[in-house]
Amino acid sequence: MIALKSKLWPSFSRSLSTLSRVNVSMQRSVFTGQCLRQAASAVQQEPLVRCVEEGGIRTVILNNTKKRNALSLPMLESLKEAITRDVDSQDLMVIVLRSSGPVFSAGHDLKELRTEEGRDYHRKVFERCTEVMKLVQDIPVPVIAEIRGLATAAGCQLVATCDIAIASENAKFATPGVNIGVFCHTPGIAVARSIPRKAALLMLFTGQPITAQDALVHGLVSKVVPDDCLEEETMAIAKKIASNSRPVTAMGKSFFYRQVAMDRDSAYSTGEEMMLHNLRLRDSQEGINAFLQKRQPNWSHDGNAEE
Protein backbone atom coordinates (compact mmCIF):
# COMPACT_ATOMS: atom_id res chain seq x y z
CA MET A 1 0.00 0.00 0.00
CA ILE A 2 2.84 2.36 0.94
CA ALA A 3 4.63 1.44 -2.26
CA LEU A 4 1.50 2.23 -4.28
CA LYS A 5 1.24 5.63 -2.59
CA SER A 6 4.88 6.37 -3.34
CA LYS A 7 4.25 5.54 -6.99
CA LEU A 8 1.09 7.65 -7.23
CA TRP A 9 2.39 10.70 -5.32
CA PRO A 10 4.67 12.14 -8.06
CA SER A 11 1.80 12.00 -10.56
CA PHE A 12 -0.61 13.52 -8.06
CA SER A 13 1.91 16.24 -7.20
CA ARG A 14 2.42 17.08 -10.86
CA SER A 15 -1.37 17.36 -11.28
CA LEU A 16 -1.61 19.75 -8.34
CA SER A 17 1.21 21.85 -9.79
CA THR A 18 -0.48 21.96 -13.18
CA LEU A 19 -3.81 22.83 -11.58
CA SER A 20 -2.13 25.61 -9.60
CA ARG A 21 -0.58 27.05 -12.75
CA VAL A 22 -3.92 26.89 -14.55
CA ASN A 23 -5.60 28.62 -11.60
CA VAL A 24 -2.98 31.39 -11.55
CA SER A 25 -3.31 31.76 -15.32
CA MET A 26 -7.10 32.00 -15.00
CA GLN A 27 -6.75 34.60 -12.24
CA ARG A 28 -4.40 36.60 -14.43
CA SER A 29 -6.84 36.34 -17.32
CA VAL A 30 -9.71 37.50 -15.10
CA PHE A 31 -7.58 40.36 -13.77
CA THR A 32 -6.50 41.34 -17.29
CA GLY A 33 -10.10 41.22 -18.46
CA GLN A 34 -11.17 43.43 -15.57
CA CYS A 35 -8.42 45.90 -16.37
CA LEU A 36 -9.41 45.99 -20.01
CA ARG A 37 -13.06 46.50 -19.12
CA GLN A 38 -12.12 49.26 -16.67
CA ALA A 39 -9.95 50.93 -19.31
CA ALA A 40 -12.76 50.67 -21.85
CA SER A 41 -15.19 52.07 -19.30
CA ALA A 42 -12.84 54.97 -18.62
CA VAL A 43 -12.65 55.72 -22.33
CA GLN A 44 -16.44 55.55 -22.62
CA GLN A 45 -16.84 57.88 -19.65
CA GLU A 46 -14.50 60.52 -21.10
CA PRO A 47 -16.69 63.64 -21.33
CA LEU A 48 -17.76 64.80 -24.78
CA VAL A 49 -17.07 68.37 -23.69
CA ARG A 50 -14.48 69.57 -21.20
CA CYS A 51 -14.51 72.99 -19.54
CA VAL A 52 -11.73 75.05 -17.98
CA GLU A 53 -12.50 78.40 -16.37
CA GLU A 54 -9.99 81.00 -15.25
CA GLY A 55 -9.91 84.78 -15.04
CA GLY A 56 -13.44 85.18 -16.40
CA ILE A 57 -12.63 83.03 -19.46
CA ARG A 58 -14.43 79.72 -19.93
CA THR A 59 -12.72 77.41 -22.39
CA VAL A 60 -15.11 74.81 -23.79
CA ILE A 61 -13.33 71.92 -25.50
CA LEU A 62 -15.02 69.54 -27.94
CA ASN A 63 -13.58 66.23 -26.79
CA ASN A 64 -14.67 63.36 -29.03
CA THR A 65 -11.65 62.89 -31.28
CA LYS A 66 -12.67 59.33 -32.18
CA LYS A 67 -15.71 60.75 -34.01
CA ARG A 68 -13.91 63.89 -35.21
CA ASN A 69 -15.88 65.96 -32.69
CA ALA A 70 -19.11 65.30 -34.55
CA LEU A 71 -22.09 67.32 -33.36
CA SER A 72 -24.13 64.31 -32.31
CA LEU A 73 -27.20 64.83 -30.16
CA PRO A 74 -25.25 63.98 -26.96
CA MET A 75 -22.48 66.37 -28.03
CA LEU A 76 -25.01 69.13 -28.68
CA GLU A 77 -26.61 68.52 -25.29
CA SER A 78 -23.19 68.74 -23.63
CA LEU A 79 -22.30 71.85 -25.58
CA LYS A 80 -25.56 73.54 -24.61
CA GLU A 81 -24.92 72.84 -20.93
CA ALA A 82 -21.33 74.08 -21.14
CA ILE A 83 -22.33 77.32 -22.84
CA THR A 84 -25.31 78.19 -20.64
CA ARG A 85 -24.05 77.11 -17.20
CA ASP A 86 -23.94 80.18 -14.90
CA VAL A 87 -24.05 82.37 -17.99
CA ASP A 88 -25.49 85.28 -16.02
CA SER A 89 -22.70 85.22 -13.45
CA GLN A 90 -20.61 88.39 -13.29
CA ASP A 91 -17.55 86.14 -13.09
CA LEU A 92 -18.04 84.92 -16.67
CA MET A 93 -16.76 87.39 -19.26
CA VAL A 94 -16.08 85.39 -22.44
CA ILE A 95 -16.26 81.83 -23.79
CA VAL A 96 -13.59 80.23 -25.97
CA LEU A 97 -14.68 77.25 -28.05
CA ARG A 98 -11.86 74.91 -29.05
CA SER A 99 -11.45 71.25 -29.97
CA SER A 100 -9.16 68.38 -29.11
CA GLY A 101 -7.55 66.41 -31.92
CA PRO A 102 -6.82 67.36 -35.54
CA VAL A 103 -10.44 68.17 -36.51
CA PHE A 104 -12.43 71.08 -35.11
CA SER A 105 -15.75 69.41 -35.94
CA ALA A 106 -16.95 67.17 -38.76
CA GLY A 107 -20.56 68.32 -38.38
CA HIS A 108 -23.50 66.04 -37.65
CA ASP A 109 -22.94 62.38 -36.81
CA LEU A 110 -24.16 60.70 -40.01
CA LYS A 111 -25.00 57.50 -38.14
CA GLU A 112 -27.74 59.47 -36.38
CA LEU A 113 -29.22 60.54 -39.71
CA ARG A 114 -30.00 57.09 -41.10
CA THR A 115 -33.63 56.14 -41.74
CA GLU A 116 -33.76 53.60 -38.90
CA GLU A 117 -33.28 56.38 -36.32
CA GLY A 118 -36.67 57.78 -37.29
CA ARG A 119 -37.98 61.20 -38.26
CA ASP A 120 -38.69 62.27 -34.67
CA TYR A 121 -35.07 61.64 -33.67
CA HIS A 122 -33.82 63.50 -36.74
CA ARG A 123 -36.04 66.45 -35.88
CA LYS A 124 -34.68 66.48 -32.34
CA VAL A 125 -31.10 66.55 -33.66
CA PHE A 126 -31.76 69.55 -35.90
CA GLU A 127 -33.84 71.37 -33.30
CA ARG A 128 -31.13 70.98 -30.68
CA CYS A 129 -28.47 72.10 -33.16
CA THR A 130 -30.46 75.22 -34.03
CA GLU A 131 -30.98 75.91 -30.32
CA VAL A 132 -27.23 75.73 -29.64
CA MET A 133 -26.40 77.98 -32.60
CA LYS A 134 -28.93 80.59 -31.48
CA LEU A 135 -27.68 80.40 -27.90
CA VAL A 136 -24.14 81.22 -29.02
CA GLN A 137 -25.38 84.57 -30.30
CA ASP A 138 -28.09 85.14 -27.67
CA ILE A 139 -26.02 84.70 -24.49
CA PRO A 140 -24.64 87.95 -23.05
CA VAL A 141 -20.93 87.08 -23.32
CA PRO A 142 -18.87 86.91 -26.53
CA VAL A 143 -18.03 83.45 -27.89
CA ILE A 144 -14.72 82.96 -29.68
CA ALA A 145 -14.10 79.95 -31.93
CA GLU A 146 -10.51 78.70 -32.00
CA ILE A 147 -10.19 76.55 -35.13
CA ARG A 148 -7.44 74.06 -35.80
CA GLY A 149 -7.90 71.57 -38.67
CA LEU A 150 -11.14 70.93 -40.50
CA ALA A 151 -14.56 72.44 -39.78
CA THR A 152 -17.27 70.96 -42.01
CA ALA A 153 -21.06 71.14 -42.35
CA ALA A 154 -22.55 71.89 -38.90
CA GLY A 155 -18.96 72.35 -37.66
CA CYS A 156 -18.54 75.14 -40.21
CA GLN A 157 -21.95 76.43 -39.12
CA LEU A 158 -20.68 76.66 -35.55
CA VAL A 159 -17.66 78.69 -36.66
CA ALA A 160 -19.86 81.03 -38.70
CA THR A 161 -22.19 81.45 -35.71
CA CYS A 162 -19.51 82.43 -33.18
CA ASP A 163 -18.94 86.13 -32.53
CA ILE A 164 -15.22 85.91 -33.32
CA ALA A 165 -13.28 83.14 -35.05
CA ILE A 166 -9.51 82.70 -34.90
CA ALA A 167 -8.11 80.08 -37.26
CA SER A 168 -4.73 78.44 -37.64
CA GLU A 169 -3.07 78.49 -41.04
CA ASN A 170 -3.87 74.80 -41.54
CA ALA A 171 -7.60 75.21 -40.91
CA LYS A 172 -10.08 74.40 -43.68
CA PHE A 173 -13.81 74.96 -43.97
CA ALA A 174 -16.45 73.15 -46.02
CA THR A 175 -20.17 72.51 -46.41
CA PRO A 176 -19.89 69.14 -48.21
CA GLY A 177 -23.38 67.77 -47.62
CA VAL A 178 -24.34 68.06 -51.30
CA ASN A 179 -21.71 65.42 -52.14
CA ILE A 180 -23.47 62.77 -50.05
CA GLY A 181 -27.00 63.77 -50.97
CA VAL A 182 -27.79 65.94 -47.93
CA PHE A 183 -27.61 69.64 -48.77
CA CYS A 184 -26.27 71.83 -45.94
CA HIS A 185 -29.51 73.76 -45.51
CA THR A 186 -29.04 74.82 -41.89
CA PRO A 187 -25.26 75.35 -42.06
CA GLY A 188 -25.93 77.57 -45.05
CA ILE A 189 -28.01 79.90 -42.86
CA ALA A 190 -25.03 80.82 -40.69
CA VAL A 191 -22.55 80.79 -43.57
CA ALA A 192 -24.73 83.10 -45.71
CA ARG A 193 -24.87 85.56 -42.83
CA SER A 194 -21.09 85.60 -42.54
CA ILE A 195 -19.77 85.70 -46.11
CA PRO A 196 -20.88 87.08 -49.50
CA ARG A 197 -23.60 85.16 -51.34
CA LYS A 198 -21.41 84.06 -54.26
CA ALA A 199 -18.76 82.66 -51.94
CA ALA A 200 -21.41 80.90 -49.81
CA LEU A 201 -23.05 79.27 -52.82
CA LEU A 202 -19.70 78.13 -54.18
CA MET A 203 -19.12 76.28 -50.89
CA LEU A 204 -22.67 74.92 -50.75
CA PHE A 205 -22.94 73.77 -54.39
CA THR A 206 -19.49 72.15 -54.68
CA GLY A 207 -18.84 71.01 -51.13
CA GLN A 208 -15.16 71.75 -51.66
CA PRO A 209 -13.16 73.11 -48.71
CA ILE A 210 -11.71 76.58 -48.60
CA THR A 211 -8.45 77.53 -46.92
CA ALA A 212 -8.08 79.64 -43.82
CA GLN A 213 -6.85 82.53 -45.95
CA ASP A 214 -9.90 82.29 -48.22
CA ALA A 215 -12.11 82.16 -45.13
CA LEU A 216 -10.42 85.32 -43.87
CA VAL A 217 -10.89 87.14 -47.18
CA HIS A 218 -14.58 86.21 -47.28
CA GLY A 219 -15.17 87.08 -43.61
CA LEU A 220 -15.86 83.60 -42.25
CA VAL A 221 -13.04 84.03 -39.71
CA SER A 222 -11.68 87.10 -37.95
CA LYS A 223 -7.98 86.30 -38.03
CA VAL A 224 -5.52 83.66 -39.26
CA VAL A 225 -2.36 82.90 -37.28
CA PRO A 226 0.45 80.31 -37.37
CA ASP A 227 -0.60 77.03 -35.81
CA ASP A 228 1.83 77.32 -32.90
CA CYS A 229 0.45 80.78 -32.04
CA LEU A 230 -3.25 79.87 -32.19
CA GLU A 231 -3.96 79.37 -28.51
CA GLU A 232 -1.82 82.32 -27.46
CA GLU A 233 -3.55 84.70 -29.88
CA THR A 234 -7.02 83.45 -28.98
CA MET A 235 -6.39 83.85 -25.27
CA ALA A 236 -4.93 87.35 -25.79
CA ILE A 237 -8.18 88.40 -27.46
CA ALA A 238 -10.25 86.69 -24.76
CA LYS A 239 -8.28 88.47 -22.01
CA LYS A 240 -8.78 91.83 -23.71
CA ILE A 241 -12.54 91.24 -23.80
CA ALA A 242 -12.49 90.06 -20.18
CA SER A 243 -10.79 93.32 -19.15
CA ASN A 244 -13.84 95.36 -20.17
CA SER A 245 -17.19 95.96 -18.46
CA ARG A 246 -19.45 92.92 -18.69
CA PRO A 247 -22.79 94.78 -18.96
CA VAL A 248 -21.41 97.16 -21.59
CA THR A 249 -20.15 94.25 -23.70
CA ALA A 250 -23.43 92.37 -23.21
CA MET A 251 -25.46 95.40 -24.29
CA GLY A 252 -23.26 95.86 -27.34
CA LYS A 253 -23.51 92.22 -28.40
CA SER A 254 -27.29 92.14 -28.04
CA PHE A 255 -27.82 95.31 -30.05
CA PHE A 256 -25.37 94.31 -32.78
CA TYR A 257 -27.38 91.22 -33.70
CA ARG A 258 -30.66 93.13 -33.46
CA GLN A 259 -29.58 95.98 -35.69
CA VAL A 260 -28.17 93.85 -38.52
CA ALA A 261 -31.71 92.59 -39.12
CA MET A 262 -33.14 96.13 -39.23
CA ASP A 263 -33.35 98.63 -42.04
CA ARG A 264 -30.91 101.53 -41.79
CA ASP A 265 -33.26 104.14 -40.35
CA SER A 266 -34.67 101.78 -37.71
CA ALA A 267 -31.15 100.74 -36.74
CA TYR A 268 -30.05 104.34 -36.22
CA SER A 269 -33.19 105.23 -34.29
CA THR A 270 -32.80 102.25 -31.98
CA GLY A 271 -29.05 102.80 -31.75
CA GLU A 272 -29.57 106.33 -30.43
CA GLU A 273 -31.73 104.97 -27.61
CA MET A 274 -29.13 102.33 -26.86
CA MET A 275 -26.42 104.97 -26.59
CA LEU A 276 -28.55 106.94 -24.12
CA HIS A 277 -29.24 103.79 -22.08
CA ASN A 278 -25.55 102.87 -22.15
CA LEU A 279 -24.62 106.26 -20.68
CA ARG A 280 -26.80 105.54 -17.65
CA LEU A 281 -24.73 102.50 -16.66
CA ARG A 282 -22.39 102.98 -13.70
CA ASP A 283 -19.54 101.50 -15.71
CA SER A 284 -20.16 103.96 -18.52
CA GLN A 285 -19.56 106.96 -16.28
CA GLU A 286 -16.66 105.19 -14.57
CA GLY A 287 -15.03 104.58 -17.95
CA ILE A 288 -15.47 108.21 -19.07
CA ASN A 289 -14.10 109.58 -15.79
CA ALA A 290 -11.17 107.16 -15.84
CA PHE A 291 -10.26 108.24 -19.37
CA LEU A 292 -10.43 111.95 -18.50
CA GLN A 293 -8.43 111.38 -15.30
CA LYS A 294 -5.87 109.27 -17.17
CA ARG A 295 -6.29 106.19 -14.97
CA GLN A 296 -7.47 102.62 -15.38
CA PRO A 297 -11.24 102.13 -14.88
CA ASN A 298 -12.50 100.20 -11.91
CA TRP A 299 -15.47 98.29 -13.34
CA SER A 300 -18.37 97.39 -11.11
CA HIS A 301 -19.93 95.06 -13.72
CA ASP A 302 -23.27 96.35 -12.46
CA GLY A 303 -25.85 96.23 -15.22
CA ASN A 304 -28.35 98.47 -13.45
CA ALA A 305 -28.86 101.99 -14.80
CA GLU A 306 -28.24 104.98 -12.55
CA GLU A 307 -31.25 107.08 -11.58
- In this prediction, residue 14 carries a pLDDT of 56
Buried b (16+ CB within 10 A) or exposed e, 50-78: ebeeeebbbbbbbbbeebbbbbbbebbeb
Q: Is position 43 within any domain? A: no
Do 111 and 213 have their domain in common?
yes
Sheet holding 103-105, edge to edge: 103-105, 150-152, 172-174, 210-211
- In this prediction, residue 4 carries a pLDDT of 42
Q: Is position 154 within any domain? A: yes
Residue 155: pLDDT over 80: yes
Domain extent, residue 148, equals: 49-242
- In this prediction, residue 44 carries a pLDDT of 54
Do 222 and 99 have their domain in common?
yes
Q: Is position 127 within any domain? A: yes
Do 146 and 266 have their domain in common?
no
Condensed to tens digits (0 to 9), the pLDDT of residues 3-13 reads 444 444 555 45
**Cβ contact 59:51 at 8 Å:** yes
Do 285 and 231 have their domain in common?
no
Percentage of the chain with pLDDT > 90? 83
- In this prediction, residue 13 carries a pLDDT of 53
Q: Is position 229 within any domain? A: yes
Cα–Cα distance, 131 to 154 (Å, whole number): 13
Q: Is position 34 within any domain? A: no
Do 72 and 133 have their domain in common?
yes
- Residue that finishes a domain, picked among 212, 227, 242: 242
Cα–Cα distance, 250 to 140 (Å, whole number): 5
Q: Is position 14 within any domain? A: no
CATH number at residue 95: 3.90.226.10
Condensed to tens digits (0 to 9), the pLDDT of residues 10-68 reads 554 555 455 455 454 444 444 444 544 444 444 457 899 999 999 999 999 999 999 99
Condensed to tens digits (0 to 9), the pLDDT of residues 205-261 reads 999 999 999 999 999 999 999 999 999 999 999 999 999 999 999 999 999 999 999
**Cβ contact 191:204 at 8 Å:** yes
Do 156 and 269 have their domain in common?
no
Cα–Cα distance, 106 to 70 (Å, whole number): 5
Do 201 and 264 have their domain in common?
no
Do 181 and 274 have their domain in common?
no
Summary mean pLDDT of the chain? 90
Do 157 and 138 have their domain in common?
yes
- In this prediction, residue 21 carries a pLDDT of 55
Picking from 104, 107, 106, the residue whose alpha carbon sits closest to that of residue 126 is: 107
CATH number at residue 258: 1.10.12.10
| Band of residue 304 on the pLDDT scale cut at 50, 70, 90 | confident
Condensed to tens digits (0 to 9), the pLDDT of residues 260-303 reads 999 999 999 999 999 999 999 999 999 999 999 999 999 999 98
**Cβ contact 222:162 at 8 Å:** no
**What's the domain count of the chain?**
2
Q: Is position 288 within any domain? A: yes
Do 128 and 60 have their domain in common?
yes
Q: Is position 117 within any domain? A: yes
Do 198 and 57 have their domain in common?
yes
Do 207 and 262 have their domain in common?
no
